[in-house]
Amino acid sequence: MARARFSKSFTQQLPIPDDAIAAAVAVMRSGRLHRYNTAPEDPGETFELEREFAQWQGQAYCLAVASGGQAMQIALRASGVVPGDLVLTNGFTLAPVPGAIAAVGAKPALVEITADLVIDLDDLAAKATASGARYLLLSHMRGHLCDMDRLMQIAAELGITILEDCAHTMGARWNGRLSGAFGLAACFSTQTYKHMNSGEGGLLTSDDPDFMARATILSGSYMLYARHGAGPAPDVYDDIRLDTPNTSARMDNLRAALLRPQLRGIAQSIADWNARHDLVAAMLATSAAIHLPRRPAAESYVGSSIQFCLPGISRDRAQLLVSGLADKGVEVKWFGAAEPVGFTSDHHSWRYVAAQDLPRTDQILAGLFDMRLPLTFDLDDCALLADHILDAVAALDTAGHLP
């Protein structure tokens, strides 16, 4: 049947809430945008955001920084990573993750993924044992959580320090425990396409006071570390403040003002994303040709995007699927392309990383498709998107272009 062309933008986000706009205007009227340029009676928006996010995340400490990438770089350095160290990470992630490892002079050691798009814990254990790598920058890529209980057991047995990249899992849980509450530290992004929108921005959380003191000095606190909303006690800094470099990666009060009201509404946003995700997933599941990543019962996810696989699809047919859907107004990304496109790339195009053999990951990415589900789409929009995908896949299947 002929279907209406999809006409909405995949990059259009919801407007910033009115109370966030009012708070941002107040900051601009004050002229006090720098996080440490505050009036004596007002600790400032960044201070308050750190305090509120730490409480929401259930962790002792929170540091607001300039981006999610800066959060990862600071976390690596504050955890003890030095140039030349091997740092394990997912073979399937976005470029800022291996980029953060490379930026601190360390060497990414890529781990295979499973058909459910999570890190392969058997390969992780094998590579950690063989290489001696003792750091894992774990990417919860596209909002998929691995078996966090088994991961923590492996980490304890092998002495691996875990840093969680929660850019796609703010508010997700494993057996009721928030994503980001498992490792030494968690890194969050508030870039426009993440779960809170300040254009750019990042948050770093931890329960370890020495780690957070090093991170705070690294972020560029000068000697103003006491003016943080969720930081360690001043005495923790006695030696750290003199031994740790300043890398000027602070968040400002303007972005913090935009984020605080969004944090208060995040539970509703998660519910709205999941309603959209689950509708599309249920419809795509009716196709025998489509494989959807399994969602374990222990996982409470945030479905701000959806992924589906067409195992065994050829490169030509995958490109045909993407271009055909684009003609219908449906923007689907494919992770099997030979060249990076926009935000989408794979380990073959990260030439700052030593080439590594990831046959299982490559096989999965060859048939992996990804679609954003912004909250500007309603449920009818999502049903139309799913119908277009089903039509396109059925056409390939009928023509004998799918295994």
Burial (Cβ within 10 Å: 0-12, 13-18, ≥19) of residue 124: buried
CA-wise closest residue to 251 among 191, 176, 302: 191
pLDDT at res. 43: 95
Strand partners, 344: 341
pLDDT at res. 2: 80
H or E element at residue 174 = strand 173-174
Q: What are the residues whose beta carbons fall under 8 Å from the beta carbon of 222, sequence distance 6 or more?
A: 36, 246
Indicate where the chain has its CATH 3.90.1150.10 domain(s): 266-398
What is the rounded distance in angstroms from the CA atom of residue 364 to the CA atom of residue 287? 18
What is the rounded distance in angstroms from the CA atom of residue 363 to the CA atom of residue 128? 23
Task: Give the pLDDT means over successive 10-residue stretches in the chain (403 positions).
Answer: 92 97 98 95 96 98 98 98 98 96 98 98 98 98 98 98 98 98 98 97 98 98 95 96 97 98 98 98 97 97 98 94 97 92 90 95 97 98 98 83 68
Strand partners, 178: 173
Neighbours of 222 (CB within 10 A): 12
Q: Which CATH architecture has domain 266-398?
A: Alpha-Beta Complex (3.90)
Bridging pattern class, strands 173-174 and 333-334: unpaired
The CATH number, out of the four listed (3.40.640.10, 3.40.47.10, 3.20.20.240, 3.60.10.10), of the domain defined by the range 18-264: 3.40.640.10
pLDDT at res. 400: 64
What is the rounded distance in angstroms from the CA atom of residue 249 to the CA atom of residue 67? 8
Asked if residues 196 and 170 have their Cβ atoms less than 8 Å apart, the reply is yes
**Inter-axis angle of helices 266-284 and 253-264, nearest 10:** 70
Specify the residue for token string 């006690």.
233
pLDDT at res. 329: 98
Indicate where the chain has its CATH 3.40.640.10 domain(s): 18-264
Give the CA-trace dihedral at 118, 123, 124, 125, to 10 degrees: 140
Q: What are the residues whose beta carbons fall under 8 Å from the beta carbon of 93, sequence distance 6 or more?
A: 139, 141, 165
pLDDT at res. 401: 65
